Chain A
Amino acid sequence: MKNLPHLCACLALTAVGGAQANTTQTSLIVGGQITPPACNVAFDGAGGVDFGAIPFRSLHPDGTLLNEQHPRLEIVCGGPTLVAFTAQDNRANSAITHQEAIAAGMKWPYQNPENAKPHAWGLGRIDDVKIGAMVLLIRPEASLVDGKPLAINTTQILARTAGGQSAWPVHSAQDSINLNLVDEYSFGSPAAAVPITTASVSLGVLPMLNKPAALPSAKEIPIDGSITFTLRYL
């Protein structure tokens, strides 16, 4: 038993840092940490999009574009809150890049030529071969903030480098915005984000599948994209 107090002392230091000298200060930290999340985020439906069964023989020799699907990212806050979201690719390094696709004479899904940096999201690998790639778009024209459509003179969807403090160089109430790894997205006017209570963000998911000649054809290939959207309070 003599070891136990020492072990605990280490834990306490790890938990609250060197400034933690006595129990009263511990209470203060508890008060600071346990703030319930002001907002929740979820996807409508079953939490994803499913392109179903695609017969291998229907694949195009130069890459196959699948029909765009439109899941909705639903953000719900307890009250008006300044909030942004970022996206992270859980299948990083499995995407055929735009550059690779063009070099190989392959098709490429639509991506906005202006609004935010384009990004190729992964669809997973099979036998170490990239299954394809997808472009993800934010669709302001089909999104709602506090139940209302977006408009240039009221609320737009905004984008800037994640963690930034600046104004929002990318903003749109109509044209799509490329969803990428480096930006954060919020709502409001180009000068400043505004607090929102709900946002229903329409996304465009546009996959492209690799050339059939590059994919193994003797077994089923699961399409396996996964992206985590995380909220950040501004």
Chain B
Amino acid sequence: MNYLARSPNTLRCLFAASVLMTATTQAAPSAELKVAGRLTPPSCDLTLDGNGHLDFGERAFNSLNADGTKVGEKVIGLQVTCNGEARIGLHVVDNRASSKVSKAALNANAWATPSAIITDDFVYGLGTVAGADDAQVPIGGYMFGFKDADIMVNNSKAYVIYSANQQTWRADVPSRNYISPNFTYSFVIGSPGGSNGTPAPLTSVNGSLTVVPTINRSSELPTGTDIAFDGSATISLIYL
């Protein structure tokens, strides 16, 4: 019933408003060009034998050296399988980086290699143990990498190349035999020759990583408790 109460003014206003609406639908003719497509991701799986657990067993405290102790190496299998050819790389992050012992703190021969080229950048932490006054004492460090004889790519012999920027690749020894979080690692099929190569498209990698722990100076470590190695590194597959 309210409509009956409208003033003529109201009606005129509504008319004007409807003109406005008509005008706004009066857009210039236009058409949209859609450019579509999709980049489909490669699919590769990375696995480590034994769920990535490596056990170095027990060692008596009184067998440790005063200036660092190299523990017998162990190997762990690593496999990459892809659903099609992909250029891949491996990148490692040390989850115990703050606990590593520097190379210079121990006898150089207590490490996997005494080579000065394999610097602290190649050392991973083994975790810490509570020492005197509950201070956390680093247990030691470890190095790991692929030995040249231990890599097969697409069922052919291959070797490791590494790069700081994923553009320029190197294959010099001993660097290619150890893995640092500072580099990306990939593979070239064949034998290492004069050329450093570039990452090969591949469908499979079958290799094994050799891991060599080194225990801190015996005088640094507490003697009243079992000391468990607590190294942890995450290996990631990246697509190049």
Write the residues of chain A forming the contact surface with B, with a CB cutoff of 8 angstroms: 1, 4-5, 8-9, 11-12, 14-16, 20, 23, 26, 29-30, 33-35, 37, 39-43, 47-57, 59, 61, 66, 71, 73, 90, 123, 131, 134, 203, 205, 207, 209, 212-213, 215, 217-232
Contact = CB atoms under 8 A, between A and B. Distances in A.
A49 B240 contact: no
B41 A23 contact: no
Contact of A53 (B14, B38, B240): B38
A227 B34 CA distance: 7
B185 to A, nearest CB: 15
A124 B19 CA distance: 38
Contact of A41 (B5, B6, B7, B30): B30
Contacts of A8: 9-10, 13-14, 16-17
A161 B220 CA distance: 78
B39 interface: yes
Interface in B205-225: none
Given A56-B40, A57-B85, A231-B28, A29 B19 contact: yes
A41 B29 contact: yes
Interface of B: 2, 5-7, 9-10, 12-17, 19-20, 22-23, 26, 28-42, 84-87, 166, 201, 238-240
Contacts of A29: 19
Given A39-B29, A56-B86, A228-B32, 4 more contacts: A30-B22, A34-B22, A40-B29, A71-B33
28 contacts: A8-B16, A11-B17, A12-B12, A16-B19, A23-B15, A34-B26, A39-B29, A42-B31, A43-B33, A51-B35, A54-B37, A54-B40, A56-B42, A66-B37, A73-B33, A131-B39, A205-B33, A215-B39, A220-B38, A221-B38, A223-B36, A223-B38, A223-B39, A224-B35, A225-B36, A227-B35, A229-B33, A231-B29
Contacts of B5: 1
Given A54-B39, A212-B240, A227 B32 contact: yes
Contacts of A226: 32-35
A54 B12 CA distance: 60
A57 B240 CA distance: 8
A118 B30 CA distance: 22
Contact of B35 (A16, A42, A134, A228): A134
A218 B9 contact: no
Contacts of A4: 6, 10
B31 A225 contact: no
Given A5-B13, A23-B12, A57 B87 contact: yes
Contacts of A51: 35-37
Nearest to A8: B13
A131 B39 CA distance: 10
A12 B18 CA distance: 9
A55 B87 CA distance: 12
A12 B36 contact: no
A41 B5 CA distance: 47
Given A5-B9, A34-B26, A49 B36 contact: yes
Contact of A221 (B31, B39, B201): B39
Nearest to A75: B29
Contact of A230 (B15, B29, B86, B240): B29
A171 to B, nearest CB: 23
Nearest to A233: B28
B26 to A, nearest CB: 6
